[in-house]
A and B are shown apart, each in its own frame.
Chain A
Amino acid sequence: MNQSLSRRQFLKLTGAGAAAVLSGGLTAFSPIAAPAAAAEENGSLYGVCDLCGMGCAFIAQLRYGRIVSLSGNPKDQIAEGKLCVKGYSGVRQVYDPDRLKYPMKRTNPQKGVGVDPGWIKISWDEAIGLVASNLKQARDTNGPQSILFVGRPSSWTKHFTQAIGTPNHVTHVNTCYSTHDVVWQAMVTGTGRSWTTDYEHSRYILAFGWNGMGNSKNHWARAVGRALVNGAKLVVFDPRLSITAAKADEWIPIKPGTDLAVLLAMIRTIINEELYDHDFVGQYTAGFDELKASVQEYTPEWASSISEVPADTIVRIAREFARTKPAVVASHKRDAGGPNYANSWRTSQCFVTLNSLVGSLDRPGGPMLDHKPKLPDLPDLWKVPKYPDSVKGPRVDGLEQFPVAGASRGSFSTLAEGILSQKPNPIKAAVFWKHNVLSFPNPPRLVDALKTIPFIAVSDIMPTEIVQLADVVLPENSYFEGGGIVVREYHAMYPQVALKEALPTLYDTKGFVPVILAILKKMGLNDYVPEGMDPGKLVDAQIKSLGTSAAEIKGNGGVWGTATEHTPATVFGTPSKKVELYATLLKDKGYDPLPRWAPPQATVSDEYPYHLLIWRKAWERMTQTSNDPVLAEFYPENHVTVHRQTAAKLGLQADGYAWVESPSGNKIRVKVEVTEGIRPDCVAVDHGFGHWSSALSVAYGKGGNDGDLTPNHTVAQQRELGCPAVATMWEDVAVKVYKA
């Protein structure tokens, strides 16, 4: 009361002089010399889209510093002057009112779904200090293994975790493409998969669950489109009539999880009928005889009995595929060979095998090895001490127990149980970088696990679910606000680099790399952050190594690189320097070196009578686009797509709601879409919805998250399933569906 009294009294004491407290001066402004010159501020900047791995180079039109529109950079071999629906919409993500704007910390110690964290804006110094002290405390008390980092693998993030000494750098690879990655590693490259396929010059494109025309992988969609106009044939095996299937010459609604059987029978047909490319197989492959012997049991009739694809169809397509040159089995990430089923890695083996048998591997019209320029990396610029041995494991996701998968790939499916079991180590502090819980299988389980971690820092752009559980929020730059160069990776027919000019940072956001370097320093790990270590310097060195400059790249239309003729590979990265149809690496590590039949993990039952299919609309990017008010306007929520007969049987109406429930213990409520374009024994849910972070004002509460239906795994379960890629097995699930 005393206080308020004094406040009141002061009123009388102040005269007109009080105005001095507030009048005069400029705080947010600075005067400019020539108003007229600045009156028209139009401009443009080169950038690279980050809404999918394709990374289309774009040109942003600016007015008064505001992005007005985006267009594809015509000089970029990937963008070809266009962006996709997500790319064009990117401007609404960077300008989303819900975006994380300033570093914040929670003031409410109670953590939970929908509980107000009581955020308070803090300075970067304070934020970095908080993260550093908590990581340091965890490291000092429980060892570096008690620290978890979840984020994409890059030189910088790897350096960050290794400098700290934690083995627990968990990445999303096993939810995304780990199966292809290990198969390519074992059979072709010795490292990982390549991202280029020359669809445009292909004459026969065979797809198993691949929907490259329907999910905004624009370059491939265009290339396939051109091939079709030029008379190529497209055949799609998919339980669902995808956009790609709808554009195909033939759609074959195969039973889910059985693509492997059809592929094995096709391999057998091509080998036994001597339709394979004798030159390629003879010169560039190893293990043909073993392959031939091992596929003899897989007759078309056998495959038909498993896949419900007529035997003569299998034989006919095998023959067409082998006789039409060039021919390619299309593949990218979450197709039938992606981490979707327990047998998907074997399916991916068959993709490589078939492409090798028809001789299209790294040949025009086939899958290409990467064409990337060699650029200097961290160790080339800065000497740092050896990383501690603790980085080798054991890991919270148990990945060191899977020798082919390799530690750098990480496993989302085993993380939750690893945290909860506190084995091999309890997790005491975690840093999440732009990975949301909704991109994990069985997110509720992960949330339970995260609640046991005493300290969580999150770096992200949007206030997603994980941000609500954060102790410290590190608002990140969007892809418009950070500069640099980006190597053309997806579909690079020749080495090319695109320039990324930085838009002035909005609010007080920062790029992640300077933040983690500052954290390392604050933790006292100064040896790992030598003088001058700075992402900008690395970019400068990389540009210099290309023999150019940023200004020159800009003058050249935002890209560096000249189109060159493709030289087909004659030597491959395997121990035998050939494409190993019999993969010795897999053999050495205890896996099947040859593609063999194995069933998917889940079977339908009376209780769970439908196969679950997961797919993605062209305009959805994982869970990151559903807060866009325009995308949400024409597609407010996702659906469960069911066949007309299924709908009738279950009493479901189009645009009504249904529960989809799986043995994961979760169920989701989604809108019903009724179609003829799906197998009656399957239901399909499209991805990107079911946000329960209320801070996403558009996306909140709309639709359901398909990932809730996919069970997570313990390490032991994964070992039993025997997938060398530790696949998440998203769609290897049977579900029940009922009216909501």
Chain B
Amino acid sequence: MESMAWERKAEDWRWLAALRGLARGFAYPDRSWMMTLLDGQWPALLAEVLEPLGVSVEGILRAVEGLPASEDEALRVLQIEYTYLFINAVPHLPAPPYASAYVGQGWLMGEPAEAAMRAYLQAGLALAEDYRDLPDHLSVGLEFLAWLGEQAADAAKAGDEPRSRTILAQQQAFLRDQIRPWLPTFCRRVEEAARISFYRELAGLAESLLCPKPALADQLAGGK
């Protein structure tokens, strides 16, 4: 039942766009992305795609509004916070955004990183030459999910239903095995440690979108 609900969602362009939006949100903030925050494109997109999915974006909109008015200052605030939450921090790194930090024995490049690499390669992707971070980084995983969804949609559009289903199954398996097992813990840590509301809200969005709380409700919805 869950998978039926899933497939409906996965083909929804909104859902895919939301994944893209989150993937960008969990990557290091640069000026061009921040401009989409400040000029409202990014929040607008999220509102447009998430509200029909039943996810409230009020919090993140408020968080974006709460950013400093000056572009430089806003970028600086976001970058300091990102560095603090996800790269290196004093007193200590609150939320390394890697699956391996939460699943397995606790050091990075563990089994989850290997599993992610395997999934990428099987889907016909390699990490880009200039990509410097680890394979099980949340941002990369989300981009992968979105890309798979887009591939599936393309295949469906081209009338290749079996291929579309295969890709959707890949996508679902990746979400189930590589993202869901650790995302709630990660989000909790972000929510606890974040000093600006933007990343707190972003984590909340990610969790409500990717780990819908009551699986039961999902099943009921799917069963109707």
- State if A and B touch, Cβ cutoff 8 Å: yes
Q: Interface centre among B16, B28, B125, B146, by most A CB within 10 Å? A: B125
Are the C-beta atoms of B44 and A18 separated by less than 8 Å? yes
User: Is the CB of A629 closer than 8 A to any CB of chain B?
Assistant: yes
Are the C-beta atoms of A11 and B47 separated by less than 8 Å? yes
Are the C-beta atoms of B124 and A28 separated by less than 8 Å? no
Selected contact of A507 from candidates B47, B105, B133, CB within 8 Å: B133
Are the C-beta atoms of A120 and B118 separated by less than 8 Å? no
Residues on B with beta carbons closer than 8 Å to the beta carbon of A630: 105
Are the C-beta atoms of A23 and B16 separated by less than 8 Å? yes
Are the C-beta atoms of B122 and A39 separated by less than 8 Å? yes
User: Is the CB of A27 closer than 8 A to any CB of chain B?
Assistant: yes
Chain A positions 66-113 with a Cβ under 8 Å from a chain B Cβ: 66-67, 91-92, 95-102, 104, 107
- Whether A116 contacts B65 in the complex (CB less than 8 A), given A8-B40, A22-B24, comes out as no
Residues on A with beta carbons closer than 8 Å to the beta carbon of B65: 3-4, 7-8
Residues on B with beta carbons closer than 8 Å to the beta carbon of A23: 13, 16-17, 20, 146, 150
Among residues of A, the one whose C-beta sits closest to the C-beta of B141 is: A28
A260 to nearest B CB, angstroms?
46
Are the C-beta atoms of A19 and B45 separated by less than 8 Å? yes
User: Is the CB of A381 closer than 8 A to any CB of chain B?
Assistant: no
Are the C-beta atoms of A30 and B128 separated by less than 8 Å? yes
Are the C-beta atoms of B45 and A22 separated by less than 8 Å? yes
Interface bits B83-118 vs A (CB < 8 Å: 1, else 0): 110011111110010101100011111100110011
Q: How far is the CA of A99 from the CA of B24 in the complex (A)?
A: 23
Are the C-beta atoms of B83 and A119 separated by less than 8 Å? yes
Are the C-beta atoms of A28 and B140 separated by less than 8 Å? yes
Selected contact of B88 from candidates A92, A100, A114, A506, CB within 8 Å: A100
User: Is the CB of A24 closer than 8 A to any CB of chain B?
Assistant: yes
Interchain Cβ contacts within 8 Å, total number: 210
User: Is the CB of B1 closer than 8 A to any CB of chain A?
Assistant: no
- Whether A120 contacts B127 in the complex (CB less than 8 A), given A14-B44, A19-B45, A22-B21, comes out as no
Residues on A with beta carbons closer than 8 Å to the beta carbon of B123: 35
Q: How far is the CA of A507 from the CA of B44 in the complex (A)?
A: 32
Residues on A with beta carbons closer than 8 Å to the beta carbon of B106: 97, 629
Residues on B with beta carbons closer than 8 Å to the beta carbon of A506: 109, 132-134
Interface bits A1-37 vs B (CB < 8 Å: 1, else 0): 0011011111101101011011110111111100100
Residues on A with beta carbons closer than 8 Å to the beta carbon of B40: 6-11, 14
Selected contact of A32 from candidates B64, B108, B126, B135, CB within 8 Å: B126
User: Is the CB of B203 closer than 8 A to any CB of chain A?
Assistant: no
User: Is the CB of A587 closer than 8 A to any CB of chain B?
Assistant: no
Residues on B with beta carbons closer than 8 Å to the beta carbon of A9: 40
Interface-located stretch among A248-256, A292-300, A399-407, A692-700: A692-700
Selected contact of B143 from candidates A21, A29, A95, A507, CB within 8 Å: A29
Chain B positions 149-196 with a Cβ under 8 Å from a chain A Cβ: 150
Q: How far is the CA of A30 from the CA of B131 in the complex (A)?
A: 10
User: Is the CB of B48 closer than 8 A to any CB of chain A?
Assistant: yes
Size category of the binding interface on chain B: 35 or more
B46 to nearest A CB, angstroms?
9
Q: How far is the CA of A453 from the CA of B28 in the complex (A)?
A: 31
User: Is the CB of B198 closer than 8 A to any CB of chain A?
Assistant: no
Are the C-beta atoms of A468 and B90 separated by less than 8 Å? yes
Q: How far is the CA of A7 from the CA of B90 in the complex (A)?
A: 33
Residues on B with beta carbons closer than 8 Å to the beta carbon of A38: 121, 126
Are the C-beta atoms of B121 and A29 separated by less than 8 Å? no
Are the C-beta atoms of A95 and B132 separated by less than 8 Å? no
Are the C-beta atoms of B38 and A3 separated by less than 8 Å? yes
Selected contact of B83 from candidates A63, A104, A508, A694, CB within 8 Å: A104
User: Is the CB of A656 closer than 8 A to any CB of chain B?
Assistant: no
User: Is the CB of B80 closer than 8 A to any CB of chain A?
Assistant: yes
Q: How far is the CA of A695 from the CA of B94 in the complex (A)?
A: 10
Q: How far is the CA of A629 from the CA of B96 in the complex (A)?
A: 16
User: Is the CB of B144 closer than 8 A to any CB of chain A?
Assistant: yes
Number of interface residues of A (CB under 8 A): 67
Are the C-beta atoms of B114 and A63 separated by less than 8 Å? yes
Selected contact of A29 from candidates B28, B44, B144, CB within 8 Å: B144
Residues on A with beta carbons closer than 8 Å to the beta carbon of B21: 22
Selected contact of B98 from candidates A67, A97, A697, CB within 8 Å: A97
Q: Interface centre among A29, A63, A96, by most B CB within 10 Å? A: A29
Are the C-beta atoms of A10 and B39 separated by less than 8 Å? yes
Selected contact of B28 from candidates A22, A35, A119, A121, CB within 8 Å: A121
User: Is the CB of A118 closer than 8 A to any CB of chain B?
Assistant: yes
Q: Interface centre among A31, A63, A97, A121, by most B CB within 10 Å? A: A97
User: Is the CB of B79 closer than 8 A to any CB of chain A?
Assistant: yes
Among residues of B, the one whose C-beta sits closest to the C-beta of A7 is: B40
A287 to nearest B CB, angstroms?
56
User: Is the CB of A117 closer than 8 A to any CB of chain B?
Assistant: yes
Residues on B with beta carbons closer than 8 Å to the beta carbon of A107: 76, 80
- Whether A26 contacts B128 in the complex (CB less than 8 A), given A19-B17, A97-B101, comes out as yes
Among residues of B, the one whose C-beta sits closest to the C-beta of A30 is: B128
User: Is the CB of A591 closer than 8 A to any CB of chain B?
Assistant: no
User: Is the CB of A64 closer than 8 A to any CB of chain B?
Assistant: yes
User: Is the CB of A65 closer than 8 A to any CB of chain B?
Assistant: yes
Residues on B with beta carbons closer than 8 Å to the beta carbon of A119: 80, 83-84, 87-90
User: Is the CB of A243 closer than 8 A to any CB of chain B?
Assistant: no
Residues on A with beta carbons closer than 8 Å to the beta carbon of B24: 22
Q: How far is the CA of A39 from the CA of B134 in the complex (A)?
A: 18
- Whether A28 contacts B13 in the complex (CB less than 8 A), given A14-B48, A35-B122, comes out as no
Are the C-beta atoms of B92 and A117 separated by less than 8 Å? no
Selected contact of B139 from candidates A13, A28, A505, CB within 8 Å: A28
Q: How far is the CA of A473 from the CA of B24 in the complex (A)?
A: 26
Are the C-beta atoms of B144 and A21 separated by less than 8 Å? no
A680 to nearest B CB, angstroms?
41
Chain A positions 690-721 with a Cβ under 8 Å from a chain B Cβ: 693-695, 697, 700
Among residues of A, the one whose C-beta sits closest to the C-beta of B133 is: A507
- Whether A11 contacts B128 in the complex (CB less than 8 A), given A23-B16, A27-B143, A97-B96, comes out as no
Selected contact of A694 from candidates B43, B69, B91, CB within 8 Å: B91
Are the C-beta atoms of B107 and A95 separated by less than 8 Å? yes
Are the C-beta atoms of A98 and B93 separated by less than 8 Å? yes
User: Is the CB of A463 closer than 8 A to any CB of chain B?
Assistant: yes
Are the C-beta atoms of A32 and B124 separated by less than 8 Å? yes
User: Is the CB of B42 closer than 8 A to any CB of chain A?
Assistant: yes
Q: How far is the CA of A473 from the CA of B89 in the complex (A)?
A: 12
Residues on A with beta carbons closer than 8 Å to the beta carbon of B90: 114-117, 119, 463, 468, 693-695
Are the C-beta atoms of A32 and B107 separated by less than 8 Å? no
User: Is the CB of B6 closer than 8 A to any CB of chain A?
Assistant: no
Between A and B, 17 residue pairs with Cβ closer than 8 Å are A6-B39, A19-B45, A21-B36, A21-B45, A27-B27, A28-B128, A29-B125, A38-B121, A64-B114, A66-B114, A97-B101, A97-B107, A114-B90, A116-B91, A119-B80, A463-B90, A507-B132
- A8-B61, A463-B88 known; 11 new pairs, CB 8 Å cut-off, are A14-B45, A28-B128, A39-B121, A64-B114, A66-B110, A98-B92, A117-B90, A118-B84, A463-B90, A506-B109, A694-B92
